[in-house]
Structure 1
Amino acid sequence: MIGLITGTLLAKQPPEIMIQAGGIGYEVSMSMHSIYALPTEGQPVTVFTHFVVREDAQLLFGFIEKEERTVFRELIKANGVGPKLAITILSGMSVQDLIRAVGYEDVSSLVKIPGVGKKTAERLVVELKDRLAKLTLTQPNEALTLPVVSATDGSTIIPINDTREEALSALVALGYKAPVASKIIQSVYDDTMSSEQLIRAALKAMV
């Protein structure tokens, strides 16, 4: 099992990155919280990983902090939560906010994350409350706390540059509907923003 990769960050295309290590390029899916903490492309990086082998695919998920990987592994043990949904959950809530929501049985906050319906949120509370409460975590990084809410229908707004296209692609990959994501991106866009900054602003605006 691949548990950690140290190499050079070749590319970031949220929610995926590529790391070169030992002459091999590893495609890794990450939560937005971990992606925000990455260095610039071309710099050395170390990520903790979780390797998933399925009949039709081999998937690698990465985390800057080991504690996020620990919570990810608890999430995928819950009934109805696969690795991709777990990454979406960890993109929509920080580890600390997730533990708090589960601990206080805050179903209303959990269902704001794309792909998490009421039944799934209730299962998370029932199945994870005791397990997450036992985890010892470091102090939260408030800059990475990005609350999100569910989308509503809207008309499509097409991005007109690469930054907005990358941000839209990332939000859609995380489960947001394209029309809603487009509107939010347009409302917060500044031409000085990188795609990561735009994604961060869009997620914050979905409050």
Structure 2
Amino acid sequence: MGHAFVAASPTMIEMLRGILAENDGAHVVVDVHGIGFGADVPASTANELPAIGEEVQLFTYFYVQENIVRLYAFRTRQERDIFEIFIGVSGIGPKTALGILSAVRISDFVNAVLESDVSQLTKIPGVGKKTAERLIVELRDKVKHWGVSAAVTAPRDSSATVPRREAVLRDVSAALQALGCKAAIADRAAERAMEKLGEDAALEALVREALRHRY
């Protein structure tokens, strides 16, 4: 039996600069001289992008595993580097890594790891107890150096430009889409979660509730 080919490289396509053609909160298309490059993005990136039709620059990670080829994009090098560290943890794939970046602030994630707070980490969609324990063991020393990155990659406060309700719904929907939900389903699940928990509920709680309504 042959060995499965597994490779991941951030350098084949290091960066994209072009016109933002699409942004649905979890996937973007960048028009680079007439060629549309599609890439999956976390909510922390999607929420910071300019309007459709404007120029954008994204740092990318090209991922290949057996018959899976995906391009992931991030608004900063630091965010991409953190994504790469996440997928280097046993049991963490790109989908879960994007889910972490979409669902929580990196500063909160760092605190949970440093405090060995398994219960806090398991609130992140896609992260169970065993995965949380692996994150703590494998990242405890690394996250100590994320001080600058934590501030850079934290999801923005969208309330300054759009009403809180719409901003939160968008973030919840983006988190679900990062976990594989289709946009329409994620939007509907986000609405139902907010109807049940209210607009002031924590993002993590809304995402968990929305996951119950994704079918």
**Shorter-normalised TM-score: what interval?**
0.7 to 0.9
**Structure 1 residue 37 and structure 2 residue 41: aligned?**
no
Alignment of structure 1 residues 187-202 onto 2, 5 Å: none
* Partners of 2:109 and 2:171 in 1: CA distance: 24
* Partners of 2:32 and 2:114 in 1: CA distance: 39
Q: Which runs of 5+ in 2 are unaligned?
A: 1-11, 159-168, 208-215
CA contact (8 A) 2:13 2:61 kept: yes
Which secondary structure does the structure 1 equivalent of 2:58 belong to?
strand
Which secondary structure does the structure 2 equivalent of 1:144 belong to?
coil
* Partners of 1:5 and 1:53 in 2: CA distance: 18
Q: TM-score, normalised by structure 1?
A: 0.73
* Partners of 1:169 and 1:60 in 2: CA distance: 20
| CA deviation map 1:4-50 (0-9, x unaligned) | 11111001112111101132111111110111110010000001111
Alignment of structure 1 residues 152-191 onto 2, 5 Å: 170-175=174-179, 181-186=190-195
CA contact (8 A) 1:97 1:145 kept: no
* Partners of 1:136 and 1:203 in 2: CA distance: 22
Q: Which runs of 5+ in 1 are unaligned?
A: 147-164, 190-197
CA contact (8 A) 1:188 1:202 kept: no
Change (3 A) 1:87 1:123: same
Query: Which residue matches 1:12?
Result: 23
Change (3 A) 1:139 1:74: closer
Change (3 A) 1:59 1:23: same
Q: What's the offset of the Cα at 1:133?
A: 1.4
* Partners of 2:149 and 2:83 in 1: CA distance: 16
Identity %: 35
| CA deviation map 1:84-109 (0-9, x unaligned) | 11000110112222222211212111
Which secondary structure does the structure 2 equivalent of 1:61 belong to?
strand
**Structure 1 residue 120 and structure 2 residue 131: aligned?**
yes
Of 76-85 and 88-97, deviating more is 88-97
| CA deviation map 1:138-197 (0-9, x unaligned) | 562666379xxxxxxxxxxxxxxxxxx9888645323489685341255699xxxxxxxx
CA contact (8 A) 1:171 1:181 kept: no
